[in-house]
A and B are shown apart, each in its own frame.
Chain A
Amino acid sequence: MDLCDYAAYQLVRMIKCKQVSACEVLESTLKRIAAVDGLPGQLDGDRDAEPNKVHAFITLTAERARRQAQQIDRAIQAGEEVGPLAGVPFTVKDIFCVEGTLSTAGSKILSNFVAPYTATPVARAEQAGGIMLGKVNLDEFTFGSSNESSAYQPSPRNPWNTSRVPGGSSGGSAAAVAAGEGCLSIGTDTAGSIRQPAAFCGVVGVKPTYGRVSRYGLIAFGSSLDCPGPLARNVSDAALLLQVMSGADPHDSTAANLPVPDYVADLEKPIKGLRVGLSPDYFRLTYVAAESGELEQQPIPEDYKQAIYRVAGRLAEMGADIIEDVPMPHTKYGIPAYFVISRVEAASNLHRYDGVKYGYRTQQPVHDLHEMYRKTRGEGFGLQPKLRILMGMYVSAAQYSEQYYMRALRVRSLIRRDFETIFNPEGRYRLHALLTPTTPTTAFPIAQVYGDSVLMQFADQLTVAANHAGIPAISFPCGFDPEGLPYGAQLIGSDFSEALLLRLARNYEIATETDQWRKRIPPILRST
């Protein structure tokens, strides 16, 4: 085990008492990156290059990181107070602006954009002493669930099996954390984009309550759904990062004006008496078959289901009450509603990329401004943004807006009501959390789903409801399938119940600490 494989909370302790230096931790991490990451993603890069590497990064900012690490070490030598992330290397999904760094959103249209300011969650992690390693890959503008849509290729691969996708859109984040390329990563979750890759890569991912973490500096996709959140190798580290990211921000009017509780302090408090629900609606997938247009239902694979029931069993052993057969009738509308809301918002959010004031501008000669717009956007956007823009244009057009957009917003109310019902402390279920699989399957093979925009989207069916409802959810690893790919369990809670979800997940970690599967390491690390 190298320094870079230690937990963040351990490293902070070791660095603070000068057992190791921040620089040593950083160098160990940079060495790991050099060993496993391979080529960074680049524009027009070869999709199939180095198929046995992780390819998490777009931009590695090693020198910047070295300066930060030296500062931390100097501060510690001088006996100064350092923050709760002192010396912990972390990566940032390249959807966040970080001053002076290339901030690409995985798109050609921002391929030359150097952000003039830093996103609040990143700034807070740095202020807490975290060492930013660089910007990691993602689906273009976060539009995807496999990371394959990035304009920067090769795109990340799953460290547990490099022929599999790492998930998306925070695929670079999840892959990096899983491979020891930084203890932590800051990702974003619009329909599952933190939780799904966390599940695929066997790490912990938290989608906080909407408004818990400022979105300032997060390059927007679905503004009413986007949530920045942490990815980490264990629950405690996720709590540590969430702690520093959270809280009101004068730059974000949707960031809740609500004190941040201590997410770390109560992690190991017992969970006796907490009520955890299981819903049949989260053990099947309802989707529209692309060709026939027929509504089809498909159960979650039995082995995955069993994995989640084993989690329930372990939580019960720790004292939680498990309540089965909790109805969540509107779950199946999550994806269709999402198809509308996120596309309307995305189309609008992508309006600003027009070649006028930053980013890519067409190199071809143009006659007038409109031609400049069309060529710039035609050349600068990949297929996924184009698809989402067109869909957004269609469903928000004046004549369809009532039928689609307003309707979708009302369906969002229905989805929210499902949760309000089960979390109501005076209601029938009185749940503290709902336990579900994070994903319908474990990590799927590269190129298997990519291109089928409908099928790809249904990969988010079990995660998207929390985004509609604005509520928090956590995904954490709970074993491996027969092919050696991680299962992810999801706990969904009520508004601002992150502390409780983290506590449940941490209790599960404690319960499974000595399980054999906990000892596995990603195959890609065996050679290092």
Chain B
Amino acid sequence: MSPEYEAVIGLETHIQLNTQTKIFCPCKADSWNDPPNTNICPVCTGMPGVLPVLNKAAVEKAMLLAAAMNAEIQPISYFDRKNYFYPDLPKGYQISQYNMPIARGGYLVFPMPDGSERKVTIQKLHLEEDAGKTKHDFGRRLIDFNRCGVPLVEMVTGPDLHSADEAAQYIIRLRQLLRWIGISEADMEKGHLRCDANVSIRPKGAEVLNPKTEIKNLNSIVAIREAIQTEIQRQIREVEAGNPIEAWTLEWDEDRSILRKMRSKETEADYRYFREPDLLSLQIDEAWKAAVLSTLPELPLQRRARFVKEYGLPIYDADILTSERSLSEYYEATLQAYQGDPKRVSNWIINDVLRIINELGVSAAELKITPPYLAQIIRMVDESVINISTGKALLDKVQNCGKEPAAIVSEEGLAKMNDADMLETLIQQLLVENPVQVESYRKGKSGLLGWFVGQVMKQTQGKADAQLTRSILEKYLNQK
């Protein structure tokens, strides 16, 4: 960005809640891979005469998100009708919440990759129904109502973000939070987390809010970054050419990486909000709130900070370990079983366990290497029962068969060979059998030590104590 300008960005996010059914009817909410217009009923297709009935689980999930965003859950909130014509909106209005939403206020403090922090405020959080999907087809639109009525939470940030990167980082952290508290799959590709961005620019240091454009349909982190960046650049070009910024609505075409103008905001319909008479006010009493919020776990950024503080982990480790709730729980459970150096457990998980998790595409909670098993492996290595390479090989064995590591060690005789006499005999034999290498070593090719160690390991199937092997080898090789 040109140094004279600063971007002012607010994000409007729509979060699809992972309830089993839609918000106002008992149709299945998730229609991924289902043929068009299969998960529909009279209610979500807006047949004449139908009425909405609110899904309790949608309310409870919104309450969890509100608490996680530090927002205040309102004892009474209302649903309103937002009236507009669009073919994917069968009733001609969207049931949403307007001036009395389920939660108000709130914020998220999140880290940037350079270690600095940003705070984004949330004005309100409201529940609403999703619309269907339309697709272009040679001068026509094809409409699928499957998504109509899927529960959404809308959260709008203040104009607190100042770069495409910050916007992307916020969404990354929000996505992490949503999965963490279990209210949304937050898969952007599947539209579980959608984002519109309001973008304007101003001279650096200015306080004014200039006319903004709204970019719709930013459905990946890459799209958020690219579209906002593109739009900031466009606005700078316009301003520098002396043109005013008009309050357009833009659409990001991800395939072509271009912005497309939707319609001018000046002609945008007045939504004529009014209270939805088909629903009563939503009343959340203290008892219900307490029961729901009692299920709220420690949040990822809090846990990340605690891992640094309580376990002395580097921020890098804490960040990875808290990337997913199940991983962070796996870490703590392992540490609990291990009762030793937290960093050591972290290393094992980040270097080795994560590889297995990624290869298998499972969550930490689904591993057959349970936290006690992992703790046992680390401890066996610590106590020199097995050597490090046996320990790492054990991970895969345990994951494959699900047996206790100690049992595998004894069954397969994997315990470390640290009998010095036995090793001395083996090494003496080795030196006799390889006079050329001995000669080379003694002439100064000291790098051959590693080769000798390798030979010992080969003969002992990796069980030889590396330290001991090395010192015995050195003893004999250096005897001239």
Contact = CB atoms under 8 A, between A and B. Distances in A.
Interface of A: 96-97, 103, 105, 110, 113, 115-117, 119, 215-220, 222-224, 250-254, 344-345, 347-348, 350-354, 356-358, 369-370, 373, 393, 396-398, 401, 405
B111 interface: no
B159 interface: no
B83 interface: yes
Contacts of A401: 272-274
Interface stretch (B70-78, B275-283, B408-416): B275-283
B49 A220 contact: yes
B52 interface: yes
19 contacts: A216-B51, A217-B49, A219-B49, A253-B51, A254-B280, A345-B274, A348-B83, A348-B92, A348-B93, A351-B83, A352-B46, A352-B90, A352-B92, A356-B87, A357-B45, A357-B46, A369-B87, A396-B272, A397-B272
Contacts of A252: 51, 53
B365 interface: no
Contacts of B50: 216-217, 251
A393 B271 CA distance: 10
A218 B280 contact: no
Nearest to A406: B274
Nearest to B37: A357
Contacts of A393: 272
Q: How large is the interface on B (under 10, 10 to 19, 20 to 34, 35 or more residues)?
A: 20 to 34
A348 B47 contact: no
Interface in B251-306: 270, 272-274, 277-280
Contact of B278 (A103, A254, A357, A405): A254
Given A356-B87, A393-B272, A396-B272, A253 B47 contact: no
B45 A351 contact: no
Nearest to B48: A219
A405 B53 CA distance: 25
A104 B52 CA distance: 22
Contacts of A116: 42, 47
B47 A97 contact: yes
B463 interface: no
A395 to B, nearest CB: 9
Interface in B127-143: 141, 143
A104 to B, nearest CB: 10
Contacts of A253: 51-54, 278-280
Contacts of B48: 97, 103, 105, 110, 113, 115, 219-220, 352, 358
Given A96-B49, A357-B143, A398-B273, 13 more contacts: A97-B47, A110-B48, A250-B53, A254-B277, A254-B278, A345-B274, A348-B83, A352-B90, A352-B91, A354-B87, A396-B272, A397-B270, A397-B272
Contacts of B274: 344-345, 348, 396, 401, 405
Interface of B: 42, 45-54, 81, 83, 85, 87, 90-93, 141, 143, 145, 270, 272-274, 277-280
Given A254-B278, A344-B274, A348-B83, A115 B47 contact: yes
Interface residues of chain B: helix, strand, loop or mixed (majority): loop
A219 B91 CA distance: 12
Contacts of A223: 277-278
A56 B87 CA distance: 35
Contact of A354 (B47, B85, B273, B278): B85
A156 to B, nearest CB: 22
Contacts of B54: 253
Contact of B91 (A216, A222, A351): A351
A351 B270 contact: no
B336 to A, nearest CB: 46
B81 to A, nearest CB: 5
A251 B53 contact: yes
* Closest 6 pairs between A and B when the two form their complex, measured CB to CB: A351-B92, A224-B277, A223-B277, A396-B272, A219-B48, A217-B49
Contacts of A250: 53
Contacts of B83: 347-348, 351
A354 B272 contact: no
A143 to B, nearest CB: 15
A113 B278 CA distance: 23
B314 to A, nearest CB: 53
A351 B91 CA distance: 6
Nearest to A224: B277
Contacts of A356: 87, 90, 143
A357 B93 CA distance: 15
Nearest to B145: A357
B47 A358 contact: yes
Contacts of A217: 49-50
A141 to B, nearest CB: 10
Contacts of B270: 397-398
A197 to B, nearest CB: 21
A370 B45 CA distance: 20
Contacts of B47: 97, 115-117, 358
Contacts of B277: 222-224, 254, 345
B197 to A, nearest CB: 24
Contacts of B81: 348
Nearest to B53: A253
Contacts of A373: 85
B272 A251 contact: no
Nearest to A107: B48
A251 B90 contact: no
Contacts of B46: 352, 357
A219 B51 CA distance: 10
Contacts of B45: 357
Nearest to A103: B48
Contact of B141 (A369, A396, A397): A369
Nearest to B45: A357
B135 to A, nearest CB: 14
A116 B49 CA distance: 11
Nearest to A222: B277
A117 B51 contact: no
A254 B54 CA distance: 11
Contacts of A224: 277
A220 B278 CA distance: 10
Contacts of A105: 48
Nearest to B92: A351
Contacts of B85: 351, 354, 370, 373
Contacts of B52: 253
Nearest to B79: A253
Q: Which of B47, B49, B272 has the most CB of A within 10 A?
A: B49
Contacts of A396: 272, 274
A117 B91 CA distance: 17
Contacts of A370: 85
A220 B50 CA distance: 8
A216 B52 CA distance: 9
A268 B372 CA distance: 78
A251 B42 CA distance: 11
B16 to A, nearest CB: 22
A396 to B, nearest CB: 4
B384 to A, nearest CB: 67
Nearest to A395: B272
Contacts of B93: 348, 351
A220 B83 CA distance: 16
A119 B51 CA distance: 11
B178 to A, nearest CB: 28
A401 B280 CA distance: 21
Nearest to B278: A223
A497 to B, nearest CB: 21
A401 B46 CA distance: 25
B48 to A, nearest CB: 4
B275 to A, nearest CB: 8
A115 to B, nearest CB: 7
Nearest to B143: A356
A218 B50 CA distance: 7
B111 to A, nearest CB: 40
